[in-house]
Amino acid sequence: MDRTAGAKRLSVSLPSPLVDEFDAVWQNMKYDDRSKAVHDAIRNFITEHKWMHQETDEIMGALALLYYFDKPTLLNAIMRTQHEFENIIASSMHVHLTKDKCLEIIAVKGSAQHTKNLMQKLMARKGVKQVKFAAITP
């Protein structure tokens, strides 16, 4: 499949400092050209919009959960919650950040509403400091 077939040219006017900063970033990220960087930025913008406004029934991505290990029942509660949502959880990885701080990375694929419910349930746990979701468009 030729992804450039039917490609449209887009002209955008931006403040010079923003363009300079964008150019520095895409070059630092080792992109071959500005067009590919703009393409990826627009794709991420659209994916985030669809996720936030639930314009999609199916979603996939990674949920990052930061929590403190010093809460005695928290780890078991996190595991129980993951089992409750096993229909959308493809995999998870536990990372020890410090002696008392952990990161859980949970790969999800399935209902956008179930993913939001999973996030809300995890965020509500005492000891959970932060939950972030990165949506991916296949």
Residue where one domain finishes, among candidates 7, 27, 52: 52
- Report yes or no on 121 lying in a domain: yes
Are 72 and 123 part of one and the same domain? yes
pLDDT at res. 81: 95
Q: What is the pLDDT of residue 80?
A: 94
Q: Do 104 and 67 touch, CB atoms closer than 8 A?
A: yes
Residues 76 and 112 in one domain: yes
Task: Determine, yes or no, domain membership for 123.
Answer: yes
Domain that holds residue 37: 16-52
Please tell me the predicted confidence (pLDDT) of residue 91: 96
Q: Are residues 78 and 124 in the same domain?
A: yes
5-18 residue pLDDT tens: 678 888 989 999 99
**Same domain? 46 vs 99:** no
Same-domain check for residues 30 and 96 = no
Say what the pLDDT of residue 1 is. Answer: 45
Please answer whether residues 118 and 65 qualify as being in contact, where contact means their C-beta atoms are separated by less than 8 angstroms.
Answer: no
For residue 79, pLDDT over 90 is answered with yes
124 and 75 within one domain: yes
Residue at 7 is within a domain: no
Same domain? 74 vs 101: yes
Tens-digit pLDDT profile for residues 107-133 = 999 988 899 899 999 999 989 999 999
Q: What is the pLDDT of residue 59?
A: 86
Please say if the pLDDT value at position 42 is more than 90. no
* Distance in angstroms (rounded) separating the CA atoms of residues 116 and 133: 9
Domain annotation covers residue 8:
no
Same domain, 35 and 79: no
Residue with the bigger pLDDT between 138 and 25: it is: 25
Amino acid at 108: V
CA distances 34 to 30, 44, 51, 131, Å, are 10, 15, 26, 32
Structure confidence at residue 56 (pLDDT): 64
pLDDT digits (tens, 9 = 90+) for 82-116: 999 999 999 999 999 999 899 999 999 998 889 98
Residue 9 maps to a domain: no
In a domain, 112, yes or no: yes
